[in-house]
């Protein structure tokens, strides 16, 4: 596995999270002069986006993220996104957070599968960062944070070989290989099958620097071409006109990683798989995780670098529902298989070495709390994770 995968995974999933939140916040916003105290306005939306992006691109957090390290479990990363999503006045119930994470992961998995070249994963990341900069163009301080991460990406990844990018792609695919959540957008566009697996196209642009299939060249021992043979291909291939820009500014050419929610479309997620498979997954989850100690230290480092600004005064925050109604959200929470509902781990993350050692010591006594039931009230679903951080 590649030790350079984590920043790309985190930034791309974070970009998808921001796309979804922006779309849902816009859909639920009320004009400021008409809004009640417990309703969203466009000012609230901008504040939420600014707070989350500012936290996501915190300098100390990015320094920790870019250190070479192996990927950890899905639950460990999910904990980081739980914390990020609640870095502002917005609050998500457990079912909405589950849905948000499902949409994030399946969207990026599809993008990784469709990348013409392994190196193009970097272009997908740049597309996400370009869109994030559009969200905060009125906040120069936060914009500088994103640009600094942009420069760090260029410095770290532009010099990597194609082989190293292939290893990064393989690491990402291993991370996503058991995730088959059906998403309505993908199902309607017929790019995903009913079992949650993607149907990859056999036509389209070939990778930059390669030729359209259909020609066989034969060379002699001196390297001189002596014969050509053409053959018919099953797909309709085209040659890209130019390569996407790997610089701070420029045309990325590749459209993977752009905001697919810019046009309002209803999005639903469904768990694929039989009850037998779900039961086997639940059984596997009871097996002790040999990497649990490393994951605790990983979370302590990452979460310790997040500088969360808690709501001032008596402000409790606004609740965001990713479903069309409260009833639909409650039904999703009740019907979701237990093994797929991520549990919340209370961790007091500090930078002190003694605390980090303490985290490892209490590994066997780690207390895991079940998510609290969904609530329709404003700001009543603050995740337990936030209490000790």
Mean pLDDT for each consecutive 10-residue tract of the chain (389 residues)? 92 95 84 65 88 93 90 84 87 87 94 95 97 94 95 96 96 93 90 92 88 92 94 88 91 92 64 43 42 56 57 56 60 60 45 46 40 35 32
Q: What's phi and psi for 314, nearest 5 deg?
A: -95, 15
Contact yes or no for 192/199 (Cβ under 8 A): yes
Provide the residue range defining the domain that includes 61: 5-200+252-261+297-303+317-336
Q: Does a structural domain hold residue 237?
A: no
In Å, what is the CA distance from 293 to each residue of 4, 283, 358, 362? Answer: 21, 21, 11, 9
If phi > 0 it is left, if psi is from -120 to 50 it is alpha, else beta; for residue 15 that is alpha
Q: Does a structural domain hold residue 83?
A: yes
Q: What's phi and psi for 297, nearest 5 deg?
A: -65, -35
Element (H or E) spanning 369, and its range? strand 368-369
3-state secondary structure of 319: strand
3-state secondary structure of 271: strand
Q: Does a structural domain hold residue 356?
A: no
| Ordered alpha helix ranges (H), 177-255 | 184-188
Nearest alpha carbon to residue 192 among 203, 205, 174, 179: 179
Number of domains the chain is built from:
1
Q: Does a structural domain hold residue 14?
A: yes
Please tell me the predicted confidence (pLDDT) of residue 268: 64
Please tell me the predicted confidence (pLDDT) of residue 91: 85
Q: Residue 50 burial by CB count (10 A; 0-12/13-18/19+): exposed, middle or buried?
A: middle
Q: Does a structural domain hold residue 107?
A: yes
Alpha-carbon distance of 246 to 113, in angstroms, equals 20
Please tell me the predicted confidence (pLDDT) of residue 223: 93
End-to-end CA distance of the chain: 31
Residues 6+ apart with CB under 8 A from 107: 16, 183, 260
Q: Does a structural domain hold residue 211?
A: no
Please tell me the predicted confidence (pLDDT) of residue 147: 96
Alpha-carbon distance of 153 to 26, in angstroms, equals 30
209: its two tokens: 């620097």
Bridge partners, residue 224, by sequence: none
Alpha-carbon distance of 125 to 120, in angstroms, equals 9
Q: Does a structural domain hold residue 160?
A: yes
Nearest alpha carbon to residue 342 among 315, 370, 362, 367: 370
Please tell me the predicted confidence (pLDDT) of residue 338: 57
Q: How many CB atoms lie within 10 A of CB 340?
A: 15
Q: What's phi and psi for 192, nearest 5 deg?
A: -135, 135
Nearest alpha carbon to residue 102 among 26, 184, 191: 184
Alpha-carbon distance of 110 to 105, in angstroms, equals 9
Q: Does a structural domain hold residue 344?
A: no
Nearest alpha carbon to residue 4 among 239, 161, 129, 204: 161
């Amino acid at each position: 596995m590649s030790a350079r995968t984590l920043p790309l995974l985190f930034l791309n999933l974070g970009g998808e999270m921001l796309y979804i939140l922006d779309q849902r916040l816009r859909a639920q916003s009320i004009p400021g002069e008409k809004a009640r105290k417990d309703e969203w306005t466009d000012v609230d939306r901008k504040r939420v986006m600014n707070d989350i992006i500012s936290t996501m691109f915190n300098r100390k957090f990015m320094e920790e993220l870019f250190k070479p390290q192996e990927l950890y479990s899905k639950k460990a990363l999910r904990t980081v996104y739980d914390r990020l999503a609640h870095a502002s006045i917005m609050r998500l119930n457990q079912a909405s957070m589950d849905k948000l994470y499902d949409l994030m992961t399946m969207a990026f998995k599809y993008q990784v599968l469709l990348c013409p070249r392994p190196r193009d994963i970097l272009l997908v990341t740049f597309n996400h960062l370009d869109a994030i900069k559009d969200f905060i163009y009125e906040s120069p301080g936060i914009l500088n944070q994103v640009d600094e991460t942009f420069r760090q990406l260029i410095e770290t990844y532009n010099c990597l070989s194609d082989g190293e990018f292939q290893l990064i792609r393989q690491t990402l695919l291993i991370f996503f290989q058991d995730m088959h959540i059906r998403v309505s957008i993908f199902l309607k566009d017929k790019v995903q099958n009913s079992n949650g697996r993607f149907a990859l196209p056999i036509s389209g642009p070939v990778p930059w620097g390669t030729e359209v299939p259909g020609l066989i060249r034969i060379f002699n021992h001196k390297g001189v071409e002596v014969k050509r043979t053409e053959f018919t291909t099953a797909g309709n291939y085209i040659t890209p006109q130019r390569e996407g820009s790997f610089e701070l500014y420029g045309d990325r050419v590749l459209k993977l990683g752009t905001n697919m929610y810019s046009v309002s479309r209803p999005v639903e997620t469904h768990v694929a798989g039989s009850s037998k498979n779900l039961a086997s997954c639940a059984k596997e989850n009871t097996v002790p995780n040999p990497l649990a100690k490393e994951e605790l230290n990983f979370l302590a480092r990452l979460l310790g670098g997040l500088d969360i600004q808690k709501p001032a005064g008596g402000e409790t925050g606004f609740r965001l529902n990713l479903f069309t109604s409260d009833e639909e959200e409650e039904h999703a929470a009740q019907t979701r298989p237990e093994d797929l509902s991520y549990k919340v781990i209370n961790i007091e993350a500090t930078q002190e070495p003694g605390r980090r050692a303490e985290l490892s010591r209490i590994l066997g006594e780690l207390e895991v709390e079940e998510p609290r039931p969904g609530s329709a009230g404003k700001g009543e679903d603050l995740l337990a994770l936030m209490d000790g951080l």
